[in-house]
Amino acid sequence: MRLEVEGLGRPGLEPASFTVAAGECLAVWGASGAGKSLLLRAIADLDPNHGRVSLDGVSREAMTGPDWRRRVVYLAAEPGWWAETVAEHFQSWPLQAGGAERLLLPFGIGTVPVARLSTGERQRLALLRALERRPSVLLLDEPTAALDRAARDAVESLLAERRAAGGAMLWVTHDAAQSARIARRRLVVEAGRVREEGE
């Protein structure tokens, strides 16, 4: 599996080109407002954009929107919730309960109303929801921003396993230490310009 991005741009984001292979995490690093989220949203095809994005040589335009978004999943910094309880957001909550425990979420959280969750709990549950879809590529927008150190470490560990199993990731962070832990390659985004570190 290989994600290829060629000349991808949109208002506020200069054309960018790079690849991400199966089992690879590419950190996306930069200051707030630099364009990191714009890049992920453009790859996910959530906003108007230009350029070419393909998966295993098949262009995004050759797939239906739902099929693309099943294979390339965008996890927003503030994910949306539409039902009353946690379990209602999952195809099979019992299959996800073990993952919830690994992410240090309280026992029985499946029956808890979403409105009572902390920001960090919502963030971890949204990650489980994304992983349930078994995507080829995860686009992660600050997935640990609201977490304490123990929860952050649990998320990093779970995603390292996903990467070892062949999943590809782009992981937005403004934490330089985290970007060094999670990835061997790093894209730097400055004022809408994207470059690979070392270029």
- Sign of CA pseudo-dihedral 173, 176, 182, 186: positive
Beta-strand ranges (E) seen in 104-190 are 137-141, 168-173, 185-190
Q: What does the pLDDT read at residue 133?
A: 87
Ramachandran angles phi, psi of 45, nearest 5°: 65, 40
pTM: 0.91
Q: State residue 17's pLDDT score.
A: 97
Q: What is the structure's pLDDT at 199? A: 59
| Mean pLDDT by groups of 10 residues along the chain of 199 residues | 95 96 95 93 94 95 93 91 86 77 89 92 93 94 94 96 96 91 95 87
- Residue 25 pLDDT: 97
Domains and CATH numbers, the chain: 2-196 (3.40.50.300)
CB 188 within 8 A of CB 35: no
As beta bridge partners, residue 8 has: 16
> What is the residue whose two structure tokens read 């977490």?
147
Residue 112 CA neighbour count, 13 Å, CB half: 16
